[in-house]
Amino acid sequence: MKRGGILELALIVATAVGLALAVQAWAVKPYQIPSQSMEPTLDVGQRVLVNRVGTHFGDPDVGDIVVFHPPVGAAAEDCGVNPAPHQACPQPNEKESDTTYIKRVVAVPGDRLQVVDGHPVVNGVKAEENFALPCHGAPSCNLRRPITIPPDHYFMMGDNRPASDDSRFWGPVPKDWIIGTAFMTYWPPSRVGIF
């Protein structure tokens, strides 16, 4: 191969790698499901593709499955304020964590939210959620004292309600912390599909 051909091949490979990295950084990114919190919708080890562009041009909707950064202290269920008894955490810590979570949006800015038998009750209407696992009476299953979701914040819950570390414990998530919306599962092959 001539020197010009090698240079051209190197340029093509470098461009392809650069484009692949750019797409992953700004448009679509793969994520692996790390825990049981989204079962039965998403299993541990399952892989999804996340649209990183959409949240920059629009707002997430109730029912969307999103990848986001939780507040610092989320793993310790650290709320930004002391919630009243039988109340979900109304406000997160102000510092963003560098870890990523994947959950379902159940309430959007301005919504009044309660949790009854593990299901969100938003503005007085109990959500129809045939995908969610039963909560079985844990204290976090019944948070009947309402909270109002602050402006530019979203309340997240895992579909595996008794085994999900979510906004019930550490509060609504600011829009700026949302990485993107999951739109497709691509692994394992038996679970390939679009949400």
Strand 28-32 to 173-174 pairing: unpaired
> Which residue shows structure tokens 């562009």?
53
Residues with a known catalytic role: 37, 103
Q: Which two tokens stand for residue 110?
A: 């301005």
Q: Is 11 helix (H, G, I), strand (E, B) or coil?
A: helix
- What is the rounded CA–CA span in Å between residue 107 and residue 124? 12
Is residue 147 within 8 A of residue 20, CB to CB? The reply is no
Burial (CB < 10 A; 0-12, 13-18, 19+), residue 138, is exposed
Q: What angle do CA 171, 96, 67 make, to 5 degrees?
A: 75
Q: For 10, phi and psi rounded to 5 degrees?
A: -60, -40
Q: Which two tokens stand for residue 81?
A: 């304020």
